């Protein structure tokens, strides 16, 4: 999700250990001020989630609507760029998300190839993301959509769980919906004479990996390779994408050793509480017509909170993704306790990896010199 400028120094580098512990503890519960108005972005993201899910639900195909919801992640990219730049580049983001999903769908029946593809997609999307300086939320959602595709379109009993073309078509509808909403929001703002804030993200014309970008890419490489190997050898190859996503989300676009540790602990705590929220919601008799409102509400809340408290945002991100996974894959009734426990374990591994890779950043004193 959204993070700080990757080129800002680690603000806590010169503080004594006791002060750092207090900063770490408060970071899990303190709401930071938002850098700008957040509700327009949150509303776009929520509508991008709501409209395709609601449309297909009304057509009697709620599972397809949830597949389309994966494409709605397009809406949360480039929010810090100049409006016209965002409109020009957002289709590229949507196509990239669709391409990652397509690669995942092709490799889904082959566990070894899917694991290699996970590492490759992680490295390629991270290199392009950091090279072009796209800003928050980082490459995590490209990797997540790849993983969702391998999970949803995988094989069971020699047959695909979900037809790959159906999944990719639904995802394309979601991405297109997100872009149409972005265009509509821009036109409405211009008609009302609303002045856009100065861009916080300057997109590079050509990809270039400076020292900070190389450190971030190295961290992604370590997380992708180590997370995939640990999952394949010790846990479950089909769960590798969640471990890698957790680690890449911790990395984000943030430079700094201590911020890596803080985001790692926030990731784990937020996921545990979010898994509890998912279990609570899953125990309720939620009518299928309510699902679009539930997903949109979770997405809106995430986008409001993610720039203010990462751990709190994870409380709502986790059930959002778990609802997408369970609804798309056609999970049976009841609370999927096995899935919840698996995601907690995978998140712990990924968060530890992501936090540990913070050592690849030079110390703040060296950075300033």
DSSP string, 213-256: HHHHHHHHHHHHHHHHHHHHHHS-GGGHHHHHHHHHHHHTT---
Contact yes or no for 239/342 (Cβ under 8 A): yes
Model pLDDT, residue 336: 78
pLDDT(365) > 50 = no
Listed range (42-56, 253-267, 328-342, 352-366) with the worst mean pLDDT: 328-342
Q: How many helices (H) and strands (E) does the chain have?
A: 14, 2
Listed range (25-39, 84-98, 200-214) with the worst mean pLDDT: 25-39
Structure tokens at 8: 């800002």
pLDDT(333) > 60 = no
What is the end-to-end Cα distance of the chain in Å, rounded?
Answer: 30
Model pLDDT, residue 114: 95
Model pLDDT, residue 363: 65
Structure tokens at 60: 């009697």
Alpha-carbon distance 319 to 150, whole Å? Answer: 20
pLDDT(367) > 70 = no
pLDDT(152) > 60 = yes
Model pLDDT, residue 368: 42
pLDDT(11) > 50 = no
Contact yes or no for 71/178 (Cβ under 8 A): yes
pLDDT(6) > 60 = no
Model pLDDT, residue 325: 83
pLDDT(330) > 70 = no
Average pLDDT score over the chain: 86
pLDDT(260) > 90 = no
Contact yes or no for 42/320 (Cβ under 8 A): no
Average pLDDT over residues 157-180: 93
Strand ranges (E), 27-139: none
Q: Give Cα separations from 47 to 17, 21, 133, 145, 213 (angstroms).
A: 44, 39, 26, 19, 33
CB neighbourhood size of 165 (10 A): 12
> Of the spans 121-125, 213-217, 360-364, which averages the highest pLDDT?
121-125
Model pLDDT, residue 358: 87
Average pLDDT over residues 284-311: 91
In sequence order, what are the residues at sequence separation of 6 or more whose Cβ sits closer than 8 angstroms to the Cβ of residue 365?
13
Alpha-carbon distance 327 to 306, whole Å? Answer: 24
Residue with tokens 């996974």: 325
Alpha-carbon distance 289 to 278, whole Å? Answer: 18
Q: Which residue has the higher pLDDT, 237 or 29?
A: 237
Q: Which residue has the higher pLDDT, 197 or 311?
A: 311
Average pLDDT over residues 71-78: 92
Alpha-carbon distance 73 to 86, whole Å? Answer: 14
CB neighbourhood size of 49 (10 A): 34
CA dihedral 106, 175, 285, 156 (to 10 degrees): 0
Dmax (CA) of the chain: 61
Model pLDDT, residue 196: 76
In sequence order, what are the residues at sequence separation of 6 or more whose Cβ sits closer than 8 angstroms to the Cβ of residue 146?
100, 101, 103, 104, 117, 118, 121, 241
CA 332 to chain centre: 25
The crossing angle, in degrees rounded to 10, of helices 310-328 and 140-152 is: 20
Model pLDDT, residue 157: 80
pLDDT per residue as tens digits for the range 139-149: 999 999 999 99
Average pLDDT over residues 170-189: 95
pLDDT(19) > 90 = no
Share in percent of the chain as helix, strand, coil (round to 5): 70, 0, 25
């Amino acid at each position: 999700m959204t993070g700080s400028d990757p080129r800002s120094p680690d603000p806590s580098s010169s503080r004594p250990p006791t002060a750092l512990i207090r900063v770490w503890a408060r970071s899990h519960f303190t709401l930071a001020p938002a850098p700008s108005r957040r509700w327009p972005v949150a509303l776009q993201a929520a509508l991008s989630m709501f409209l395709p899910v609601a449309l297909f639900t009304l057509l009697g195909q709620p599972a397809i609507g949830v597949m389309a919801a994966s494409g709605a992640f397009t809406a949360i990219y480039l929010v810090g760029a100049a409006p016209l730049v965002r409109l020009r580049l957002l289709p590229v983001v949507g196509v990239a998300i669709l391409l990652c999903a397509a690669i995942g769908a092709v490799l889904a029946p082959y566990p070894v190839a899917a694991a290699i593809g996970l590492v490759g997609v992680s490295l390629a999307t991270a290199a392009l993301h950091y090279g072009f300086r796209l800003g928050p939320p980082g490459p995590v959602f490209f990797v997540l959509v790849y993983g969702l595709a391998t999970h949803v379109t995988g094989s069971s009993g020699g047959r695909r769980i979900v037809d790959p073309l159906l999944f990719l078509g639904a995802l394309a509808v979601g991405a297109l919906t997100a872009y149409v909403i972005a265009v509509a929001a821009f036109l409405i703002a211009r008609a009302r004479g609303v002045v856009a804030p100065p861009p916080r993200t300057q997109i590079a014309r050509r990809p270039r990996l400076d020292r900070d970008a190389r450190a971030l890419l190295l961290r992604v490489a370590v997380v992708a390779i180590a997370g995939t190997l640990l999952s394949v050898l010790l846990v479950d190859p089909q769960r590798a994408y969640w471990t890698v996503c957790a680690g890449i989300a911790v990395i984000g676009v943030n430079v700094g050793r201590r911020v890596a540790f803080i985001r790692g602990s926030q990731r784990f705590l937020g996921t545990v509480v979010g898994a509890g929220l998912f279990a609570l919601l899953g125990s309720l008799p939620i009518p299928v017509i309510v699902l679009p409102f539930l997903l949109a509400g979770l997405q809106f809340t995430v986008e409001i909170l993610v720039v203010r408290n990462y751990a709190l945002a994870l409380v709502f991100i986790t059930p959002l993704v778990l609802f997408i996974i369970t609804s798309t894959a056609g999970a049976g009734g009841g609370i999927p306790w096995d899935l919840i426990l698996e995601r907690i374990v995978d998140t712990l591994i990924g968060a530890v990896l992501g936090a540990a890779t913070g050592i690849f950043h030079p110390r703040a004193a060296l950075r300033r010199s």
